[in-house]
Structure formats: C-alpha cells, structure tokens
A and B are shown apart, each in its own frame.
Chain A
Amino acid sequence: MAKALNNLQLFAESLGSTAEMMLGEEVRIDKPTVQKGHKAFGDLSAVIGFGGDGVSGVLSLRFTQAAALGLYEAMMGESLERCGPEVHDCIGEIANIVLGNAKTLFAARDVHFLISIPTIIEGPNHSIRMRNRMAVVDIPFGFREHSCLMEIALELGERPAGD
C-alpha cells in the first residue's frame, strides 16, 4: 500500500499538467488522502477503468455542476446554462487525457496498462462504490473558486510500480 501510494504521485502529476494546459489557468492540487467509506461528492463524475500487469484500478474526476460548467467555459470559451452532452463529453475527455498521460508516466517506469472509454455518472451528491478490495484515494484539486476531486481506486495485492 505504501508503494502503491507513491505511484499516486504520477496521477497527481498528470492531473496538474493536463488540467493547467487545457484550462490555460492555474490548478491547485492537494495532498492525497486514503478514503474511508464511500464519499458522496458533486453532481457529475467522469469514470475510467484501467488494467494491466503492474497496476489496475479506476480513475474518477468528480465535479459540482458549477465546477463542470466553469471548466467547460475555461476550456471552450463559451458559457452554458446547464450541464448537457457537451459538458459530459468535456469532463470525459479530460479524464481520458489525465489517465492517458499517467499511462505514459507509468510506462516510463515499465508499468503498463490499458485504459477504457469514459463513463459519466450524474446525480446530486452521489457516491461511487468500488470493489471492497480496492483502496480508494482522494486527490482534491481546484481552479478558480471551485473545489473538485480526483478519486483513484487501486487494486490491492498487485506488483507495485517501480519494483
């Protein structure tokens, strides 16, 4: 688990560089903390699974409606009244790029995995239930006045990266 936690840095690194480049503005990234129970947060989540020899799990990017709309506006230069298919696609693609770049960082350490296509979960203050044997870690992040959450669920008992 300690080693698995070290690898979380790669997800945080990817989130930071990807989000700043796509938004064109500063993004705050907080320290990872291990989640206890199923955390209810936000209105929209973009969820992507990944799996391979070295590491498997699920990455979720979680937003309030206001944050998702703010993100869309920052990226596309257009403000929308409500979250529809454009916003769903937008947060899904950001999750895809964050995980894709993390995949490249892991590959440089000879840990390889494949990633799936994003799924969007919608609902006020929803929680996401991972399998029991997964460790779930929160990496809070933010931009402008918005607080968002990246959740990384990792399968336990697999070969840690870098070993």
Chain B
Amino acid sequence: MKVLVVDDSSTMRRIIINTLKAAGYSDVDEAGDGQEALGKVDAAELVLTDWNMPVMDGLTFVKEARGKGFDKPIIMVTTEGAKNEVLEALKNGVNDYIVKPFTKPVMVEKINKVLGL
C-alpha cells in the first residue's frame, strides 16, 4: 500500500517515514509542499499531510485533491491543534488529525483507524 507523506520539514518527513516503516508501511513517497503532493497523490492509498507549508499549504492541497476526486483517507499532521482548525480540516475532507509532536503509537493507531484495521 502506497503512503504519501507531505511536509515542508525534511526532519518531520523522516520521523513520519520511520514510524510508517516500523509499522510495516514500507512503500512511501514524499512531497515538500501541497503543489508537489498534488502531482503524486493519485498513486497514494493513504496521505499524511502537514498544514503550514510554503507554495501550497496542506488545507488547500486537501481541498484540491478532494476536488479532483481523490477519495482515499487523508490524515492531517500539524501543530495546529485549536478546535477551530481541527473542525475546519475535518469539514474540508480530512479523515483524522494528529497534533505535533506525536508519539509513534498515536500515529499508528490513527492510521489503523482510518484504514479500518
């Protein structure tokens, strides 16, 4: 199963990819902003995306991806933990939400949840 990891921080992409690999998800692609992610999203079966990024932010990316018919689960991984932000993301097609910093078990649990495992 292909997972797309979108974050402008290479450190955060590495932390997320290490977590995915340890949980058995080894087919991972990555993008540094929403624009780059839009070009890669069609091949993905699960997306983990940051919110605050240059070029195209995560919320815009989610809206665009949903707008062109991408229907696989998307998890937002962000520092934006206030209620309003979480609600706005969920309203726009995000399936679940992880606040940074996160522990590895929390990330794996959310992934399993959105995949119905």
Residues of chain A having any CB pair with chain B under 8 Å: 18, 21-22, 75-76, 85-86, 89-90, 92-93, 96-97, 99-101, 103-104, 107-108, 115, 117
Say whether, besides A100-B80, A103-B82, A104-B82, A89 and B52 are in contact (CB < 8 Å): no
B21 part of interface (Cβ distance < 8 Å) = no
Q: Please report which residues of chain B, range 85-112, place their CB below 8 angstroms from some CB of chain A when the two chains form the complex.
A: 99-101, 103
Interface of B is mostly: loop
User: CB within 8 A of B9: which of A21, A76, A92?
Assistant: A92
Of the four ranges (under 10, 10 to 19, 20 to 34, 35 or more), the interface on chain B belongs to: 20 to 34
Interface residue from B11, B81, B100 paired with A86 (Cβ < 8 Å) = B11
**Residue of A whose beta carbon sits closest to that of B83:** A107
**A75, B79: Cβ atoms under 8 Å?**
no
B81 touches A104 (CB 8 A): yes
Residues of chain B within 8 A of A85, CB atoms compared: 10
Chain A residues, CB < 8 A from B99: 101, 104
**Cβ of A96 to closest chain B Cβ, rounded Å:** 6
In the complex the two chains form, is B103's CB within 8 Å of A117's CB? no
Contact residues in A for B15 (Cβ distance below 8 Å): 75-76
A22 vs B103: C-alpha distance in the bound complex, in angstroms? 9
Q: A86-B10, A97-B79, A97-B101 are in contact. Are A117 and B84 (CB under 8 A)?
A: no
Contact A96 B52 (CB under 8 A): yes
Tell me the interface secondary structure of chain A in the complex.
Answer: helix
Residues on the A chain within 8 Å of B11, using CB: 75-76, 86, 89-90, 93
Q: 15 A-B residue contacts at CB 8 Å?
A: A18-B101, A21-B101, A22-B101, A90-B11, A93-B9, A93-B11, A97-B79, A99-B79, A100-B80, A100-B81, A101-B79, A104-B82, A104-B99, A107-B84, A108-B82
Tell me, in angstroms, the Cα distance from A47 to B106 when the chains sit together. Answer: 29
